[in-house]
Amino acid sequence: MSEITINKEQRLFVFKESHGYTCQGFDVVYKQCLEMARRIKQFSLLPQGTELAPILESEIGTMAQYEQYKNILKIIGDRKLGTWFHFDTPTKVRQIINQYIKGDGRLRLFYGDTKTGRCWMEENDVVGLIGRSGGTMQIPLLIAKDEHGGPGILDNCIVRIIDADSREELYRHKLYHLPEMEIRQVDEKLFAIGYTHGVWAKNKEGNFENHANLRSFGKAAQFVAFMSGECCEQPQ
C-alpha cells in the first residue's frame, strides 16, 4: 500500500511506491471528483434515495478529499461511462469530439488560455483523427495519419476547433484571439544553416519574440496561415 504525503508548496499528493514516487495534483483530484460525481448522477449509479457527499472546494489538498476521490472511484468501478472529459470542458467541445470519435474526419485543434482566449500557437499534435483510450476513464486521443494511437487531447484548453478537411469552423471561444505575427528575415547565423525567414509573435507583454524559423518566405507564410487556421497543412 502506498504511503501518501501532502506537498502544499507544489500542491501535490505524493505517493511513495516500492519503485519510487508518483504524484497527483490537488486540482486534478478535485476536478476529477466533480466530473465523476457528474457521471454517477448521469448514469444513476447510486441506490435510490442516496447521494454523494458534497465535493467542497474548501477541502482541496486534504486527505479527506483524497479519500472521497478513492471512494468515488470504487462506486464507478470498471464501468464504461463514455468519453472522459475534464470537468471544465465546455459542452460544445464535448459534443464535437464525441461526434468525430472513430470517424474519418480530422480536426484542427487550437489550444490556449481559456480565461483570456489567447491562443498558445501550438504547432504539434493539433491535427488528426479522434480516438479514445481504453480503461474506465476513456480520454479522447488525437491520432495522426497512418497511426493507431496518439496523445491525449487537452480538451479543457481548447479555444477553437476547425474541421481540417472542410475548413469549417466548429467552435470558437468567445474571447479567442491569436497573437499578432510578423515575418522577418533571419540573422546571418540562422541563414548560414539554411533558414531564411522567421515568424515573430507578440508575447503577453506586447513585445515581439521569435516563434519559428523556416527555410523560405513561402514556408513562413504557410506557418502563419496554419496558425491562423487559413490552412491545415504544416510547412515541411
Please state the domain extents for the chain. 3-76, 91-172, 181-228
> CA 40 to CA 51: how far, in whole Å?
10
Q: Does the predicted model carry a pTM greater than 0.85?
A: yes
Q: What is the mean pLDDT of the chain?
A: 94
Rg (CA), the chain: 22
What is the mean predicted confidence (pLDDT) over 2-13?
92
Contact (CB, 8 A) for 4 and 67: no
What is the mean predicted confidence (pLDDT) over 172-186?
97
What is the mean predicted confidence (pLDDT) over 51-77?
95
38 is written with which cell numbers?
A: 457528474
**What are the backbone angles phi and psi of residue 142, rounded to the nearest 5°?**
-105, 120
Asked if residue 2 has pLDDT above 80, the reply is: no
Residue that is written with C-alpha cell 488560455 in the block? 113
Q: Provide the pLDDT for residue 31.
A: 96
Greatest CA separation found in the chain?
A: 73
pLDDT digits (tens, 9 = 90+) for 31-42: 999 999 999 999
> CA 142 to CA 61: how far, in whole Å?
31
Asked if residue 1 has pLDDT above 60, the reply is: no
DSSP 46: S
Those residues whose C-beta lies under 8 Å from the C-beta of residue 87, and which sit 6 or more positions away, are 31, 32, 34, 35, 38, 156
Helix (H, G, I), strand (E, B) or coil at 90: coil
pLDDT digits (tens, 9 = 90+) for 16-28: 988 889 999 999 9
115 is written with which cell numbers?
A: 480565461
